[in-house]
């Protein structure tokens, strides 16, 4: 069975500093990996995905993620955090038709 782990419930970062939100996964076959963001009282918004090809994937709002097969990780990164990036971030894996989400990481960017 596929699973996703987000080891940090909360990440705090100062505005302008680089940010990383961690994600590890477990699947039996090829992983299809996604990052979503949820702002308060809103639905989830798609940020980026890894299907195949380059291990560094670029997405919306300046975010990127690095796929590392040997470490089974798919960490979300941004070179310079904005206060408006403060939100709940979900990593998800899809091996077949079902999308399995992690518990989410709350990102707080401090002015």
Partner 1 sequence: DAGVIQSPRHEVTEMGQEVTLRCKPISGHNSLFWYRQTMMRGLELLIYFNNNVPIDDSGMPEDRFSAKMPNASFSTLKIQPSEPRDSAVYFCASSPRLDPYNEQFFGPGTRLTVL
Binding to partner 1 (CB under 8 A) within 32-51 occurs at 32, 34, 36, 41-46, 49, 51
The torsion of the CA quartet 51, 102, 79, 107, rounded to 10 degrees, works out to 160
Q: Which is nearer to partner 1, 13 or 102 (CB)?
A: 102
What is the distance, to the nearest Å, from the Cα of residue 69 to the centroid of all Cα atoms in its chain? Answer: 15
Q: Which is nearer to partner 1, 17 or 98 (CB)?
A: 98
Q: Return d(Cα 90, Cα 83) in angstroms, integer.
A: 18
To partner 1, the closest distance from the beta carbon of 85 in angstroms equals 19
Q: Which is nearer to partner 1, 28 or 41 (CB)?
A: 41
What is the distance, to the nearest Å, from the Cα of residue 79 to the centroid of all Cα atoms in its chain? Answer: 14
Q: Which residues pair with 32 in a beta bridge?
A: 94
Residues of this chain that bind partner 1 (CB under 8 A) = 32, 34, 36, 41-46, 49, 51, 90, 94-104
């Amino acid at each position: 069975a596929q699973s996703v782990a987000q080891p940090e419930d909360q990440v705090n970062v100062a505005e302008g500093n680089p940010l990383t939100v961690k994600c590890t996964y477990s699947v039996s076959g090829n992983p299809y990996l996604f990052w979503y963001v949820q702002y308060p009282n809103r639905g989830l918004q798609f940020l980026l995905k890894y299907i195949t090809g380059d291990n560094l994937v670029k997405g919306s709002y300046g975010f990127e993620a690095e796929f590392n097969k040997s470490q089974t990780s798919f960490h979300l990164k941004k070179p310079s955090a904005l206060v408006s990036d403060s939100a709940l971030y979900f990593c998800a894996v899809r091996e077949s038709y079902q999308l399995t989400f992690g518990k989410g990481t709350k990102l707080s960017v401090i002015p």
